[in-house]
Every structure is written in C-alpha cells, then in structure tokens.
Amino acid sequence: MTQPIIRLVTCGSVDDGKSTLIGRLLVETDSVPHDTVAAARNIRRSGSTIVAGEVDFSLLTDGLEAEREQGITIDVAYRSMSLLNGRRLIIADAPGHEQYTRNMAVAASRADVALVLVDAARGIRTQTLRHLTICSLMGVTRVAVVVNKLDAVGYSEDVYQGIVKELSSVATRLGILDYQAVPVSALAGDNVVHRSTNMSWYKGPTLLEYIQSWNKKVELLVKPHLGVQLIARAENFRGLSGTIFNGTFTKGDEVVVLPSKRKAKISQIVSYGEDRNSAGDSEAVILVLEPDVDATRGDSVELASNFTVPADRFNATLVWLGETELVHSRSYYLISGSTQVPAIVTKIRHRIEIVSGDHEAAEALAMNEIGTVEIASDSPIALSPYKKDRNSGSFILVDRVTLNTVAAGMVNHVLRRSENISEHKYEVDSLARATQKNQRAKVIWLTGLSGSGKSTIANELEKRLFAAGMHSYVLDGDNLRLGLNKDLGFTRADRAENVRRISEIAHLMADAGLIVIVALVSPFAEDRDNARARFEKGKFSEVWVKTPLEVCTARDPKGLYKKAADGSLPNLSGVGQEYEPPTNAELVLDGTEEISVNVESIMRELL
C-alpha cells in the first residue's frame, strides 16, 4: 500500500534559520544531487559568515537570485525529499518577512505539518505568532515549534523552556492539539536528523523522527464534490470536467448541479480517455450526465442525497493581504476553485490581536491583519465550513480593479438569513417601465470636488429633462446624508458604504425606468467602479466635473474649504483626503464652463 505524501511548511520570522534547517534535512537524507551540494560549498550569500568549504545549506532552497543577493527568502521554495522510512515529503520553505505573509498563507493552506521556527537568541517575535495563528486557521494538523540556534546560547535548557512555556499557551489558545517543541541547531545539526550530544537534557524525538511519525487522519469521505473547470465536448458526449474531492462518484449516482440544483444521473465517468465505474478523491475526471443539464465553469457537482445548499451570506475568517486596507461595503471577486462571483464584505465583526488572541472591534483590516467578517455574494454559491472541507471551504478575494489577490478566506459557517431570502421575478420589467415612459433608463453619475458644480449641473439637467417630458430624479449626496445616510461619516469605509447605498437606490430607480442623476463627490475610483459594476453595460455613465481646486476653494458654496483651512474639517476631499480622478469616464466636463454648455454636452453625448 502506498503511504500518503507528507506536505510540510516551514515558517517563522526572518533570519530564524528556516532555509538552513531545510537544507540540512535535504542533505542528510541524501535528497539533493551531489553537484548541487558541491556548489553550495563554493557560493556564498553577501555577508555570509560560513567558512569556505562548508555547505551553505540555506542556498539549497532559495531559488531566486534576489533572495541570494538580499540574504532572505522571498518566494515559497518547494522541494521533494525522501524520508528514511521510505515516505515522500514535499517541503514548502515560506518567507519570513511580514510583507510576504501571503506567500506563507498559500503554503500553509495545503500543509499537513508545520515547522514554526524561533531563534533562541532573539526569542518569540510577532511574525512567529502570526504564522502560528495562520497555521491554525489553515487547518494544519501537526505543528512543531523548532527552537533553533541553541548553539548561540550555549545549548541552554532554561532559554528553551522559557520559549516553550510561552508558545505552549499560544498553541492551546489556538486549538492546536498535535504540538511538539524541538530544540535544534540547524547550522551544527543538533537534533535535526541525528540526536544531539550537546542537549542531553532533551528526551523527545529529533525533528526528522517527529515528521516521519505523522500519519494522515483517516477521514470518512462521504460528500464528493467536483468543481466544474470546463465543459468537455467530443463527438459522442458532453461532459463536466474537474477534480473530485472528499469522496467517490459512481456510475449511476444521482447528482445535483449547483447552484441551479438541477438533478441528473452519472451515465459515464471518463479519466485519461478510459471509462471508469467510479472515481475518488483527488482524481481528475469528466462526468457525463443524463439528462445533459445546463452547467458551466464555476458550477459544482455533488450527490443529490447529500449536497451543500448554496447560500449568499457567510461568516468567514480573513487573512488580509492587500496593501490598502479592507473596508466593508466594497465589492471584490470571491474565487473558490473555479467559482468566481462578486462579493461584498458587509461587516467586520472583529480583528484578532496576534499576541494576545483578543477579539478587537475594527472598522478596517490592514495588511497582514486577521479578522472575522460577514460576506454577501451577488449569487448563491456552494461553500462549506473550512473545518469540514478545506477545498470547498476556502476562497480568495481579488480586487476588481487591479485583479490583485487581497485576502485569503476560510468559511466558518453559512449565515441562516441567506436561506430565507430569494429573489422574486416580476413580469413587468425595467424595459417595460422605460418603454411606457418613452425613454431609456439611465444613470448619470456626476463626480468631482466639492464646489465643482455637480449639484448645479444636476439641477439644470433635470429641468431640461422635465421640460422635455422625461421622467428623472436627482440623488444628491448631501440630501441623502440628511436622511438615509445620516449614520455615515467621511472615513474611507463610510464613504464606500455611502456610495454602495446610493448605487443601490440608483439601480432601483433605473429599474423603475427613470433617468437617475447622481451628484456625489465619491472620491475613490474603486467605489465608483463598484457602483458601475452594479449596472448592465450602457446603463451607467460616469461624468467627471473637472474643476481646479483653486476655483472650488474660491467658490466654497458650503464654507467647507474655510473649515478645512482652519483645521476643523480634516478629511475634505482634495485637501485633507485624496480625490482620485476618473480614468475611464464617459464624459469630462469643464467645471468653469457655462452651466448650459455642460448640460447640453450631457444631453448630446449620453441621452
């Protein structure tokens, strides 16, 4: 019987010796070509203190030239290693720098065993605790705290025990049950593969013994799941292609395609060109269904007798990786496997304080912070709690503008209210309502600095439309803050929520067949882009009222610039708070031009 592969991640703060430790493991288990080892005797990092002729073990895992030049690990280095008991080990050497936490989180998400290193001379650092927390969140089942560089502190048992005592309480708090502390010197080789004669006080396993003793927990895989990656077509069939997780599909099984909940039976299972009676966990297959129900990439297939009910509201834990902070009410792409849907973080329930583990109130999450949030997706998706299924319970959030990955997420549970809400389709639709009014429904979104002339242009535009017998309405930012949005301030998070609410109102009004004019500073491009995404193509037009700041300041119709000058209004857009000019606006107006000229431009170009 083939033994399961062990997937291991090494982590900890920078310079704790991760690369050196893994290099020694590779060399002493004869898992590195001899010519590579010979090269590691001759190449030196800048500033290296290793004696010429000795192996620089750290070079065996650092593949990027930039890493060698800086003396740090940037990317995750993957290496295969043969254990002494014949098992195979896949090692992920994760970077220690805080700015590369995202790399470490990705490596931990697939790991069975984690080695969290601590430099005995430096002690426990914040990044050590952050990595230990991420390992717990990512479901790593076995964790070894490797107290490294004991040779630098005279192999002191007291130093070791002090570190172990502090981290043991952290492991208990995080719910890490399979936990072992091992004192080592990666540079000298103590307790890495061979037992140390310098630490006779330590009676536990060597690091290699601890790794080799891991056995995969036997799980009852009874809820097979296949995420549809593509639709496979051939002359005689059309099938759903993907990888099976968490169980087995058998020919003749009744299945359901999610989120549509359409049922069918498996008439054929194809894997690498061969017909199969069944296929199980981690196998790539094509499922041919009868009847041939409609499905597309991003859908999933599960047994009809035991399937995940699709939902659009989730409680989840996020490791925030974005350089700009997370604020609620901003839309991102949620990607889980092949599934991708727009989603909004509706609430940040709390932030996890890394050192103490306390749950702190928070309105935002900064880079590398961890928090619990509530998420709403635009359409139902089949996600499971992460603790039950790593594959269908994990996701990432992607910035819709830059397409950068900004968060790694783990589903805690589905919010019950998602099960009690469903969209009701009415026979009279948006087109019918607009046709009745003899017009095209449209949203004209006026953005610009305070005093740029947005409200004045909106007022004159509505007068023109009214005189022409057209049905319109103005949504003015200040007016809405007197009522619906009176609970919102002017922080980045509150501005995002302000834009979200107004875009939802505008969407409803456009659905009613109206021409909607929005006059709103809306200073951040991402918020405006999220508003645009709420509408079908052609139904949303962004208009930048481009007026120089000095002109706006001279006008100062509300006295805001005067308040900003005396310090009583610190976050005025364009002064104390950034205003991001549009880059893809349908129309740019000169705010110093006559109002009638600007209104005529809108009428001519957009309506």
DSSP string, 298-354: T-EEEETTS-PPPEEEEEEEEEE--SSPEETT-EEEEEETTEEEEEEEEEEEEEE-T
CA distance 310 to 317: 19
Per residue in 206-238, pLDDT (tens digit) is 998 998 888 776 565 678 999 999 998 877 778
pLDDT of residue 411: 94
Per residue in 121-144, pLDDT (tens digit) is 999 988 889 889 888 888 888 899
Per residue in 420-478, pLDDT (tens digit) is 666 777 889 888 999 999 999 999 999 999 999 999 999 999 999 999 999 999 999 99
Task: State how beta strands 238-245 and 284-290 pair.
Answer: antiparallel
For the chain, residues with pLDDT lower than 70 are 1-4, 32-77, 84-85, 96, 100, 217-221, 417-422
User: Which CATH code for domain 313-417?
Assistant: 2.40.30.10
CATH superfamily of 225-303: Translation factors (2.40.30.10)
CATH superfamily of 6-212: P-loop containing nucleotide triphosphate hydrolases (3.40.50.300)
pLDDT of residue 56: 64
pLDDT of residue 403: 87
pLDDT of residue 49: 58
pLDDT of residue 300: 92
Compute the Cα dihedral for 151, 152, 154, 156 and give only its sign. Answer: negative
Asked about 601 being catalytic, the answer comes back as: no
pLDDT of residue 13: 85
Which one of the listed residues 336, 392, 522, 573 is annotated catalytic?
522
CA distance 267 to 291: 9
SS3 at position 286: strand
pLDDT of residue 324: 87
pLDDT of residue 66: 46
pLDDT of residue 220: 59
pLDDT of residue 238: 87
Pair 232, 286: CB distance under 8 Å: yes
pLDDT of residue 52: 53
Per residue in 307-365, pLDDT (tens digit) is 988 999 999 999 998 888 887 778 899 999 889 999 989 889 999 888 788 899 988 89
CATH architecture for segment(s) 430-606: 3-Layer(aba) Sandwich (3.40)
- Listed by start position, the domains of the chain span 6-212, 225-303, 313-417, 430-606
CA distance 200 to 186: 17
